[in-house]
Structure 1
Amino acid sequence: MKSMPLAAALLAAASPLVLATAALAADKVGSVLLSSGGLAEIVRTVDLAEGESRLALEIPADQADDVLKSLLVSDPAGSIVSVTLDGANAVAEAFKRLPLTREDLASTATIAAAMTGYAATIDDGAGHKASGVILGVAKVPRATAGQPIELPAVALRQDDGSFAEVLLGPGAAIVFADKELQARLDAAISTVRAAADAGFRTLGIETTGKGQRTVRLSYVVAAPVWKAAYRIVPAEGGKFRVQGWAVLENGSGEDWSDVRLTLSSANPVALRQRLVDMYWRDRREVPLLLPGGDVNLLVDGAQAGGASQEMYGMPGQADLAAEAPPPPMAMRALAMPAPAAPSRGPEAVSVEGDVGVSFTLPQPVTLKAGATLTVPIIDADLDADVVSLWREGSGSAPQAAVFLSNTTGRSVPPGIFTVYGADGYLGDAQVAGIPPGEKRFAAFAADPKTRVASERQQKTDIVGLSGGDGVLTVRRSTVWTTLYHLAAPKDEARTVMIDHARVAGTEATTDGEVVSDEPGRLRIRTGVAAGAAKDIRVTETRTDAEAVHLVDSDPDTLLFYASTRNIEPAVAEKLKAIAAIKGRVGEAERAIERAEQAGRRQADEQGRIRANLEALPETSDSAKSYIAKLAESEKAIEEAEAARAEAQTRADREKAALDAALAAF
């Protein structure tokens, strides 16, 4: 890092401090701390003499972001006033107020082409001059001793109304008649010249200190990660010696001389941010909403919050965006002059039709082709409340919104709203129109100071059972309980509006103020005192009926229903009897299956015995043994068939009893 005279630094930075006397600074790197996170903390000292309050330092351009992020200035005799950095965007800013770009400076032809419409005096480079308004630049062919060539030619409209053409040859020059424009061009060219050295940036620091003193600067920049290399060698007594070496590089961009160096194995969180660059906040462009045109889902088709889409069974009709919220802003505008009340103009005559509203301007309109006109069509006072609006899926921070009530008796067409408060601009919103007598939200900003969280529980109880024709009718009551936890900022009270999505077909109750209760949503309003927390409960209840066919139900299910509360004793006894019969039918069918399995095993065994008998002499002892086993298998088959027949009889008897019980249910 090199020091330089302050005057030069301030000029390079285009700082408003340029008119002050310059201070000279001789700085020195005192210590460096390298961490394993790829960072270097650099501490340097600057000696200031009597009367010096400013210092100017040159830093590598690639360190500018880190220096701005982490710089600490310690002046033992005063406090810091400002830190300035010559802008990397100075060239772009210099050309913002000019009709040409930096690239247009490449030639007189491109300059003239960019400056169409401006008065200038043009010297063609051969002693011929012409003055007038530049109309355009084109290439025209010209014959030469060799091959034909094309030269740029500027078309001018001269003061007497005639048109002239000036060829731009070698040495051509342009001087513009507008002195202010010429001065701005000269300043922009000076900025281009100053920005030619892009490797270093000038940092200017001003303090309030007086007298001779040493100012300490500390900052953290990127640095090569230092490494460790170890050696292990045998030592006496059966031990080994470990020798570690640090391997590091000076990547600071300047020499170190008598620097106190510290190496740290810490691995801190290392973040970067391009603080030097200019950032422009993108604003969403919203489509123009026209009656009968495409409906913007942002406004008309968004799903309301509070429960899953499957739970509601129908889409919401929201006028609040389900997409990302508007750029965060506090509910109050930044300190600025209060906006002046807009003057009232002649209001258009509106007519409310069956499917829309029409506006007729009260005065004739004169407008040139291609021009733009804007005139008032509505100028009315609407009832409105500023609330913090929250809906499921919007995070813990609600949105600041104006709750508009259309009491004008006529429709307010859809459009984009710019919202102002007592202190100035608050934000923008889009509203899909407000029919007469209805209310709409205009959400214009995030309200990060207010917090909203929700929790939901669901409980289902059987509240009644009845039967007939072999069908058990089960009535279930399902209760959804949603608890909203609200917290206002410590220094401001809030009116919080909960946009709660209704579960389809439920009856809802709440301890908050119900603003609107629609099939798809419930809007609840409550006040929260500054620094206070408050809970709002929403209870939704729905009763459903389910037909349970007893013939398809297993015994455990029937016994469960028989043991529930609110069941008639006679119905419960019948369910228990049917469950017992179903249990006996199941046992008989399992006995049939066991008997059939036993018979199949014995049949397989007989096949194996007969195969063995065919391979043995009939009078052998082995043959006699297999014949005896064959007789035992025959007996087992007969017993299995008898058991199956008995089980089948029981199954038929119990099924007949089940049919009778179901018919009598």
Structure 2
Amino acid sequence: MLKQVTAILLLGASCPAISLAADNGAIRSITLSSGGLAQVSRSADVNSDGVIRIEVPLDQVDDILKSLVVNGFAGSVAGISLAGPQPLQETFKGLPFSLEALSSVPSLLTSLQGAKVSVTSGGKTVEGNILGIETRKADEKAPTYLLTVIDQDGAVETLTLGEDASVRFEDPDLRAKIAKAATTIARGKNDRTRAVDIKVNGVKDSGAVGLTYVVPSPIWKTAYKVVIDGNNKAHLQAWTVLENASGEDWKGIKLTLTSAEPVTLKQGLHQLYWRERQEVPVHTASNNVPDADSGDLSNRQRLSANVEERAVPAPAKAMMGGVSRKAYAADELESPAAPMQIAATNPTAATESDISATFELPGIYDLANGDTLSVPIMDADVEADMVDMYRAGSVLRNPIAAVMLKNTTGVSMPSGILTLYDSKTGYIGDSQLSALPKDDTRLASFATDRKVSISEQQTPTEEIASLKVSDGVMNATVKYRQTTTYTVSGALDGERTVIIEHPIRDGWSFSSAEGFGKTATHQRLKAIVPAGAEKVLTAVDEQLQSNSYALVDTDPDMLLGWSASTHDKELTDKLTNLADARKRQVAIQNELASLDSEIEKTVNEQERIRRNLGAVPDNSDLKKRYLKALADSEDQIASMNERRDAVQQESDRRGDHVSHIIRTF
């Protein structure tokens, strides 16, 4: 096998070492948002050429190009430059050989046909311009390569290339190109970073320059610890859990957390995009002279109204807990059990803005790349009420024990997991806390209260709210009501505050004597249930529906129902009269339908007899019998038709009577 070409080329050209940015400048601060981004602020060193260089991971380049700003100096930014997204491919576009040609000496010599070289192999050296490479293969042996050159005197020489072959290109420009290719290959093998050069003008003091940019970061989490003391108070601590996944160590940085959830976008700015273009033919006809430009209307001056800037209130500082806590007795066996408490922490500067809360962690932090940090961000006493919560439709009859927390910290708290302790008994359960704006409340459910049971019963009813007749049409407004009764059987050993969540029904009104606010999906009912007592809570949902009915076709029972529901005596009498007339009309219509059925049945029987007559011998007793049955059926049909005519007349008369009554409404 021939030697790798990169090893050979080093004999003829020097390869400069790969240099990366040695110092990105110290990180001053990092702000982590709930949107999964980190705002990085760092100092910047400006070299003698007025360039700030930082080296960043390749997967952060798009975000840095999108968000990088230079601040803190009286100058200007001339531009940002860095290696392209495909340095290897782009480098070889401008070279006289391909990447594959560097895989072996024969390939490189073939691609550089005509170049002047000095080649040594097997103790023989040839010099001249490359004419070509011939591949020879004998039997199953490895192929051999025969180089042919022409020297300066015009003599043609050949040389078999062995494993000891060495090549020197005489053209210094060609040697430089090969060296550049080798350097690019070496760098491309570990293409994971980019050196970003920021050209600045007018900078006198390098220390006054800072860089700020935004890059992806793991979302920071919140874990709450709450100790309930039983006096409608609880001590709350919020701890953040965050990771350093920036690609570099954090040393002595200032950390800030924000609960903002901004719109976060990304775009492949460090990628190559080519627009497809339509190829058009070359026209050789005479020029088409365009009309003179009439001007750009968008350049005209527009009038705009003055917009008053809305004043943004100054953020309120959160009330931080800083009260010292009593230590446990040295000998717990000789002293009474002390209530569980949470040790106080160094205060975090928390501020409230229009859409988020910001937590500036005290002090500075060191965190190696890939490590995790957990520190407290809130320590305060808050209002807390112990309640039982029951949601309608639950498969369990027992409510869930919960604590109603009111955020009196002065700053909105992010969502997170919550661990609850009783100051006397210790751990009582976990809960999930959604984002809690300041002064708002949240129910944190943590356990099932088996000592309390709740049953529910639904009773639907409907009543006529209003009736109006117009042009023979009854417009009825019906009030549908569903009454839900919740029966709470209290605990035997103590009083309970019970909150029931009743579902909100779209289009229905809600009322309850025990109403206690609502959520986005449920109305809330609240009651205090003494020990061993039973409490009934009632929720009423109502809806009005309007329907129209043609009186001429209305069921008599519905008419009677309407007559009993209206408070208009005249309308009641008319509806009662109409109900009686409709009842008689329906009865005669049913009789008419019965006669039609009988006639149809007799006619079908006649058809059967006629078919049988055609199948029996003439003058037989069976034929005489069929003839007599046929004559009898004709008499029956004639009689029923006479009866039907009379009934039809009576039906018409009763229909006219109904129509007459309807016209009186």
TM over 0.5: no
The structure with the largest alpha-carbon Rg is: 2
TM-score norm. by structure 1 comes to 0.43
TM-score norm. by structure 2 comes to 0.43
